[in-house]
Structure 1
Amino acid sequence: MNIKINWLAILVSTLAGMTIGFLFYGFLFLEAWQVAVGLATPDNVNFTKYGNPIILDPVTPMIINTLLMVAYGVFMTWLTGQTGRTSAAGGASLGALIGLLIAASSAVGNMFAVEPTMLSVIDGAYHLVLFTVIGAIVGGWRKRRA
């Protein structure tokens, strides 16, 4: 099966993914997530992790995250094409399944690491929403064959 990549759909799904991340980790669950991962700003300037001073590098993770969002979009385009789920609903359901699998894997890893359950809830919900939205965008927005 010849899959055509709709790069505009990949761009939109990347921007949507970045927005979802901002909403989850920068707006909706910021404080709960910081507590769950042990981050604190006792003076509202300097960060500590489990009481130890740290220096955050916001640029490198953001670059890697952007590249991953593009890769997720390309992967979901391929997967929706391979499975014949070439509609928004089909892509969303496939994305939800992938999001649930990632959430479950993350939760098990967090259990072994004795991380707070809230971390699994936040990260799991993020992945569920993220892949559902990416799947809906790339599944429903197919490139027309010439």
Structure 2
Amino acid sequence: MQVKFNWLAIIVAAAAAMFIGFLWYGLFFQLQWAEAVGFSGPGLTEAGAEVFKHGEPVTLEPTLPMVINAITMVLYAIFFSWLTAKADMASLSGGATLGAVLGVVVTFSHYVTNRFAMEPEFLSVIDGTYHIAIFAAIGAIVGAWRKK
């Protein structure tokens, strides 16, 4: 079976995942995540103020990570579009389920990596549940919005 990609669904799914990331790291868990990775300082809540990582001043430059993130979200959406079709789970619930299951696998990977790096367990919870959420959302969108 040849997979037909719905490019509009892929772009919408990637944008939705980026919006979830904005909510996750920008609103819901901003301060907890910053503390877990060693960021501190008034720059976390005040524009233009200083930010420190493990006590050393740093300059936050989000442009390159955001570009790479956008590309990655599109690649995730292409992958989930292909996978939901190949796994015969091309529906909203099928895509969301497949995404959530793969998100759990990635969560375990985050946990193991962070344990070896002796990072706080809560960092694994934040990053892992983020991947469960974005993979479920991407899977649901591309699973439900199939090209006929």
Q: TM-score, normalised by structure 1?
A: 0.96
Distance 1:24 1:120 in 2: 13
Number of matched pairs: 144
The answer to whether 1:140 aligns with 2:144 is yes
Distance 1:48 1:130 in 2: 29
Q: Which residue of 2 aligns with 1:127?
A: 131
Superposed CA RMSD: 0.9
How far 1:103 sits from its partner (Å)?
A: 0.6
Aligned with residue 56 of structure 2, among 36, 52, 56: 52
Distance 1:14 1:87 in 2: 17
Point out 4+ residue stretches in structure 1 off by more than 3 angstroms.
none
Where in structure 1 are there 5+ consecutive unaligned residues? Answer: none
Q: Which residue of 2 aligns with 1:88?
A: 92
Identical pairs, percent: 49
Q: TM-score, normalised by structure 2?
A: 0.95
SS for the counterpart of 1:94 is helix
Residue-by-residue CA offset, 1:18-61 (whole Å, 9 max, x unaligned) = 11000000000000000000011246411110001111111000
How far 1:77 sits from its partner (Å)?
A: 0.4
Q: Which residue of 1 aligns with 2:16?
A: 16
How far 1:82 sits from its partner (Å)?
A: 0.8
Residue-by-residue CA offset, 1:97-136 (whole Å, 9 max, x unaligned) = 1100001100110000000011011001100111001000
Distance 2:103 2:143 in 1: 15
